Amino acid sequence: MEAMTRFRTAGDRLVEADVAVRRAESDRLVAVAGMIDTYPAPEPLVNGPAAERTVSAGADGAGSVGEFVALEVGALLGLSEPAAWSLVHDVANLRSRHPYLWAALADLRVEAWQARKVAQACDELSAEAARWVDEKLADAWGVAPWPRIRRRLQGLIMRADADLARRKAEIARRDRFLSIRHLGDGTSAIGGLIDTGAALQLQAAITRITSRMRKAGAEEPLPVLAARALEELVTPTTTDESTGDSTAALPLADVVVHIAAEALDTAASDGAHVARVLARGGDVGPVLVDQLAHLLGHHRIRVLPVLDLNGDPSVDAYEIPDRLRRQLMIREDCSVFPYSTARSRTADLDHTIAYRRSTPGSPAPPGQTRISNLGPLARREHRAKTAGIWKLDQPAPGVYEWTSRTGRRWRVVRGRTTRLPGRPDGARIGDRPRRNPRIDVIFG
């Protein structure tokens, strides 16, 4: 009991320290805004190239300021002038172009560095477009983890200015490069920037080869096998392993189409729709719909059946069939642990109520493996839950309520985490978790 009390007290101190850091960082940005507001307007005594000019404080709609303000800010904070200008630029943009995010910063619902990342990502947007992105993200601050917000931000920026997204994609394609640096010890380092469509094909080819190596008994770590697979691709053997089917070697793409309500309103549509591409090799991210043909043009397309995400199908077995797995992963693209960013496609699928297997004279209850009793969890999260250190309830399908060993509680719904007040009835700090006589999963 005493040890757990000390542990909880340490957790309270950690939360207090985090709040203090967030408040200090927020106050720092507010103070920079005060520097911008009170900086004297340039009044050059003499004309010439050294005279101070009034320049834009940030992007479109962020106002103006004397160009030497960054020297003042930098001297006070011990920053170089470029770093100080970056800070001034971000603050001016946040305050003028992202009012919801600026308010979230004041409420300590977002960290300063995250707010600056958003301002920088939207820097090339018009003031109107930046404010549209800001409004769309307003309900995410404080309830969604940063990696998920960042992925959503990328798609919103594309929707806000599709022409800009196309121009940036074209510039990126023009900037492609490949660098091979020989290290002198029989190995070489490879780096580069290539077209995403080609990268997906390369990744699929490497995966096919590494899978064959695994089946043949290879035990090296996957990065080593991937390097060997790349070597095999560029030094092919004379043996033709083709089946004769021209499409057999093409990577397979599963396309799941999510239709947003605004996409159905053709009268209001501006033609800029964004799809999120999840390839077998990894998450490509948001892509303009009219760029899908280029990305998937060299893939075989498998059309999956439409799934009713509100349904609760079940099976009378511990193993989870593909149709249930797909439905769950579409509903929960990340782990259902509080603030987790682990992607569900690589996570364990956990039975919220531990699966009860058949025993002599006591058959297993039917329908235990069902959508309303499943949730994706990263391996370490799963282990903590299985060990009883974290407790999980799913009072309604897709609603995951967690309780830590110190009695703190959280609710996770569709990737949004909310802190619940108080402790559940009967929970006491220091209680030892009750051993569960049934095994939900065995880790190898």
What are phi and psi for residue 270, nearest 5 degrees? -100, 5
Average pLDDT over residues 327-354: 89
pLDDT score of 251 more than 70: no
**What is the model's pLDDT at position 270?**
58
Q: How confident is the model at residue 5 (pLDDT cuts 50, 70, 90)?
A: very high
Domain boundaries, the chain: 22-41+53-160, 161-236+266-299, 314-420
Regarding beta strands 369-370 and 314-315, do their DSSP bridges make them parallel or antiparallel, or are they unpaired? antiparallel
**What is the model's pLDDT at position 98?**
97
Under 8 Å between Cβ of 54 and 65: yes
Q: 3-state class of 252 per DSSP?
A: strand
pLDDT score of 437 more than 50: no
CA distance 81 to 72: 9
Give the torsion sign (CA, 125, 126, 129, 131): positive
Q: Longest Cα pair distance anywhere in the chain, in angstroms?
A: 99
Q: 3-state class of 97 per DSSP?
A: helix
Report which DSSP code applies to 112: H
Report the share of the chain in percent with pLDDT over 70.
77
Average pLDDT over residues 326-350: 88
CA distance 81 to 79: 6
Q: How confident is the model at residue 330 (pLDDT cuts 50, 70, 90)?
A: confident
**What is the model's pLDDT at position 184?**
64
Partnered with residue 193 across adjacent β-strands are 177
The predicted-structure confidence for 190-233, as pLDDT tens digits, reads as follows 988 888 888 888 988 999 999 999 999 998 998 999 999 998 88
The predicted-structure confidence for 103-114, as pLDDT tens digits, reads as follows 999 999 999 999
Average pLDDT over residues 409-432: 72
CA distance 22 to 18: 6
Of these ranges, 161-175, 213-227, 247-261, the one predicted with the greatest mean pLDDT is 213-227
CA distance 211 to 226: 10
The predicted-structure confidence for 21-77, as pLDDT tens digits, reads as follows 999 999 999 999 999 999 998 876 555 677 888 999 999 999 999 989 999 999 999
Average pLDDT over residues 111-127: 96
Of 132 and 49, which is predicted with more confidence? 132
Under 8 Å between Cβ of 331 and 309: yes
Report the share of the chain in percent with pLDDT over 90.
44
CA distance 411 to 305: 31
Average pLDDT over the chain reads 82
